Amino acid sequence: MRISHLLVALFLLAGLCLLGEMVWHVGMTDLLTSFGAVGWWMVPWILLESVPVVLHTAGWAVCFPPRHQAVSFWHLALVRLAGSAINQVTPTATLGGELVKVLLLEATVPRAAVTATVVIDKTSATLAQSVYLALGTWYLTGRLPLPVTVQRGLGLTVGLLTLGVGSFVVVQRYGFLSKLLGWLSACKICRARLERWRQHLLPLEASLAAYYMAHPWRFGLSLGLHGSAFVFNSLQTFLALRLLLGAGAPSVAEAILVTSAVAALDQVFFFVPGGLGTAEGVRFAMLSTLGVAQVSGLAFGLMARLEGLVWNGCGLLAYAWYTRPWCGLRRVQAIASSSPSLPRRRGKRP
C-alpha cells in the first residue's frame, strides 16, 4: 500500500509540474486575457454539463428491470455523480466508481441485481462511445485532410474496441465466464477457488441473462441515451471554442475530432489522479495541431478542469452524504427488513 501511495503521489506531482510548465510557457497574463474573453459565459457553459448527466442517468435507469425501478431518478443521478467523482479522483481505471454505485444502492436493490445494472450500463456506455467514435472517424475522414495512416489507425482502434465490447455483451448474455470457470475447475486447476468464484458469478449472470432476454429494447434505448450524451459533448467543445476564439474557432468537424481524441486519451492517463496536467495537456496538444494558439488551448483545458471540479465536487458531496453514519445505519436496517426472518427455536433455554 505504501508503494501504491508513493506512485500516486509521484503521478500527481508529475501532472502538477506539467500543468505548471504549460502555464509558465504561455504566460499568466495572456491566459487571464483568454479567460476574460469568456467572462460570465463560463457559468452557463458549466451548467450545460447537466444535459449529459441527465442523459447518462436515464441510460442507466433503463438498465433496471421494471420490477427493480423503485429507485428515484434523482437518487440515481446523485449516485452516478458520486461514482463518476470517485473515478476521477482515484486511479482505478473507472472501476472504483462502479463499486461505489453498487454499495450505495444495495440497500434498495439486491446486490446481484444492482451489480448487473452497473455492468450493463458500463457496457452500454462503452459501446455507445465506441459507436460514436466510429461514426466520428467516418465523418472526419471525409472532411479533414487526415493522413491515410492516421485514418487506418483510428479505424483499427475503434473497430477493435467495438469488437471487444460486443464480445463482452455476448459473454454476459450466455454466461460464458461461469462456464469457463466450471471447465477450468473440472481440470483441477485451483479447483476450490475457481468453484467459489463460479458460485459468486452465477446470480450475477442469471440477472444479466434475464435482462438481455426479456428487455433487449431497453438496452438499445440505453445505447441511444448514452450516445446522445457523447454527441452533446462535441457541442460543448464547439461552444467553448467559440467563446474563446469567436469567429476564428475551429469547425464542428474539428470540435468532434478534439472531443473524440480527448475521450480516448483521457482513458490512457487514468493512473494520474483527476487527470491533473494530462487532461489539460491533451487539449493543449490537440488544439495546437489544429493551428489554435497555445494560450487558447490551455485556456480550454482549464475551462474543462473548472467544469470537472464543479461537477465532481457535487459528486463528492453526494458521496459524503450517502456515507454518513446515520445513512449507513439506515441501509443496514433496510437490508435487515428485506431479508427473511430466521425461525425461532422452541424449547427452554439452557
pLDDT in tens, 272-315: 666 777 777 778 777 877 778 888 888 888 888 889 889 999 99
Whole-angstrom CA distances from 120 to 30, 52, 64, 113, 124 are 46, 18, 9, 11, 6
Per-residue pLDDT band at 152 (split at 50, 70, 90): low
User: Domain for residue 272, yes or no?
Assistant: yes
Query: 144-160 burial by CB neighbour count: b if 16+ within 10 A, else e?
Result: eebeeeeeeebeeebee
Q: Are 204 and 115 in contact (CB under 8 A)?
A: yes
Angle at 135 between CA 57 and CA 117, to 5 degrees: 25
Q: Answer yes or no: is 5 within a domain.
A: no
pLDDT for residue 187 is more than 80? no
Per-residue model confidence (pLDDT) at position 144: 55
Which pLDDT belongs to residue 181?
54
**For residue 343, what is the DSSP state?**
P
Identify the band that residue 43 occupies on the pLDDT scale cut at 50, 70 and 90: very high
Q: Is residue 340 part of a domain?
A: no
pLDDT band at 79 (very low <50, low <70, confident <90, very high): very high
Q: What's the pLDDT at 310?
A: 92
313 domain-assigned: yes
Quote the domain boundaries for residue 256: 15-329
| Length reported for the chain | 350
Domain count, the chain: 1
Question: How much is the pTM?
Answer: 0.75
Q: Is residue 196 part of a domain?
A: yes
Q: What is the mean pLDDT of residues 146-170?
A: 64
Angstrom distance (rounded) from CA 20 to CA 24: 6
pLDDT, position 20 = 79
* CB 84, CB 179: distance < 8 Å: no
Q: Mean pLDDT: which of 94-103, 194-203, 223-232, 335-344 is highest?
A: 223-232
Task: Among 97-111, 188-202, 330-344, name the most confident range.
Answer: 97-111
Mean pLDDT rounded to a whole number for the chain: 75
In a domain, 127, yes or no: yes
336 found inside a domain: no
Cα separation, 284 vs 297, whole angstroms: 4
Residue in 268, 271, 266 with CA at minimum distance from that of residue 96: 271
Least-confidence region, from 178-192, 203-217, 246-260: 178-192
Cα-based distances in Å from 277 to 96, 205, 228, 257, 338: 21, 40, 28, 20, 47
Domain assignment present for residue 241? The answer is yes
Q: Flag the least confident range among 158-162, 231-235, 343-347.
A: 343-347
Residue 231 to residue 15: CA distance in whole angstroms: 28
